[in-house]
Structure 1
Amino acid sequence: MTTSTHRSADERRAQLVDAAVAVMTDDGVRAVTTRAVTARAGLPHGTFAYCFGSKGELFRAVLDRELRQSMAVTFDDDSVPVEDPSERIAAGLLAYLDRVRAAPDEALALFELTALARRDPDLRDLARWEQDAYAQAVTGNLRQWSDRHGRSWSAPVDQVARLLVALVDGAMSAWLSDRDDSAAAATLRLAATMVGALAVQDADAKGVRS
């Protein structure tokens, strides 16, 4: 019984996250109210309080899911079995670009949510959490890849991760403004070349892993 109840709560949370993203995408972040979200999910309004303690908690769940999906796309080792760091990074970034291109309105809504969180005192912790969560996730993926392929980073890997996150954010923001696929792809390949150059063979490494 306990397991069934737990699964039911997780399913309802997932429904509400889906609904929140749909409302944001169609009508903007300001339109995300507890009633709008539960109505879009087809659930009783009281379900919201059962699943989330606040709207901020819902937004965090939205961003957390986006983070996990983004990492799965960008660092999918099975899709590009190459050892060259620049090629590997470029393949991941271009895959992420394809994901954004496939759902631009959703990507805009998520950018809007992040911008709102930076301005709203009640959500400022959410903006900081998102930035740190992306940096930590990318750091882990970069470290895992370099360890697997016998490489080290010539700069602290957490700094490399933050550089990569900043480059990708800028490229995606530019694409959402001009929808120039070629320019975005060229920018991401250049970013991959820059970041990939920081990964060196362990035999020649003079940098640090941490």
Structure 2
Amino acid sequence: MTLQQEHRSVEERREQLVDAAIAVLRDGGISAVTTRAVTARAGLPHGAFHYCFASKAPLFRAVLERQLRTAMAVAFAPPVTRLDLEARIASGLSAHLAQTRDDPATALAVVELVTHSRRDPDLQNLAAWEQHAYLDAVREQVDEWTAEDGIRWAVPVEHVVRLLIATADGIGSTWLADRDDAAADATVRVAARAIAALADRTGA
């Protein structure tokens, strides 16, 4: 086996283990995520776990990275067609909410993982990393909007980014609690209008 083939093999096994960890987390919660449960779910020998991950902490980080990439692929990314600011914000919030609606079990599992990481000394940096990564990803997209549409915000961009994240997470969490589609959609519309009101277009 060449070095390139070996590297690909490790990456493929890592992806298998991340898939399996998400499945175990969805089905049984954080307490069910043991190295044996994950490797069994992946159809791999137990020794494969430590070949790919030093411990559960980097596995959990890989799980959050996967979910973050998925979330950023649909929420707050530049739209295919040009939208005004309010519609763009509403589109991002709706896309984030749609992910939660489409797979509530995974959404709940991720919430549990982040909450658990805040209490576990071995995972104390994980929640902070996840939040910073989320902030960086959304900030990059908001900066792109700002440059593309000539937007001037009435508050620092950092505040807008944090408000977008808090709003998206809050709408998703509320929907997980009450499963009220109409209320969630109405909240998206109101929130988009309120956040868009924080901006003025250059030359408008």
Fold match by TM threshold 0.5:
yes
Q: Distance in 1 between matches of 2:89 and 2:167?
A: 12
> Which residue does the alignment assign to 1:35?
36
Give the drift of 1:203.
Answer: 3.0
Q: Distance in 2 between matches of 1:65 and 1:147?
A: 28
> Which residue does the alignment assign to 1:120?
120
Taking only the aligned residue pairs, the percentage that are identical comes to 54
Give the drift of 1:128.
Answer: 0.8
SS in 1 for 2:54: coil
The answer to whether the aligner puts 1:90 opposite 2:95 as a matched pair is no
Deviates further, 190-199 or 164-173: 190-199
Give the drift of 1:143.
Answer: 0.5
- Conserved 8 A contact 2:77-2:141: no
> Which residue does the alignment assign to 1:56?
57
What are the residue-to-residue correspondences of 1:8-157 with 2, within 5 Å? 8-79=9-80, 81-157=81-157
Q: Distance in 1 between matches of 2:156 and 2:16?
A: 39
> Structure 2 regions of 5+ residues with no counterpart?
none
Q: Distance in 2 between matches of 1:133 and 1:123?
A: 16
Q: How many residues align?
A: 203
Report the AA paired with residue 131 of structure 1. Answer: Q
The answer to whether the aligner puts 1:167 opposite 2:167 as a matched pair is yes
Report the AA paired with residue 119 of structure 2. Answer: R
Q: Distance in 1 between matches of 2:47 and 2:187?
A: 46
**TM-score normalized with structure 2 length:** 0.94
Q: Distance in 1 between matches of 2:61 and 2:137?
A: 16
Q: Distance in 2 between matches of 1:2 and 1:200?
A: 54
1:169-191 superposed Cα distances (whole Å, 9 cap, x missing partner)? 11111110100011111112222
- Conserved 8 A contact 1:93-1:188: yes
> Which residue does the alignment assign to 1:207?
none
SS in 2 for 1:122: helix
1:71-101 superposed Cα distances (whole Å, 9 cap, x missing partner)? 111134344x233111001012112211111
What is the root-mean-square deviation in Å for CA atoms of aligned residues?
1.4
- Conserved 8 A contact 1:24-1:32: yes
Q: Distance in 2 between matches of 1:201 and 1:21?
A: 42
Q: Distance in 1 between matches of 2:79 and 2:151?
A: 19
SS in 1 for 2:51: helix
> Structure 1 regions of 5+ residues with no counterpart?
205-210
Q: Distance in 2 between matches of 1:88 and 1:78?
A: 7
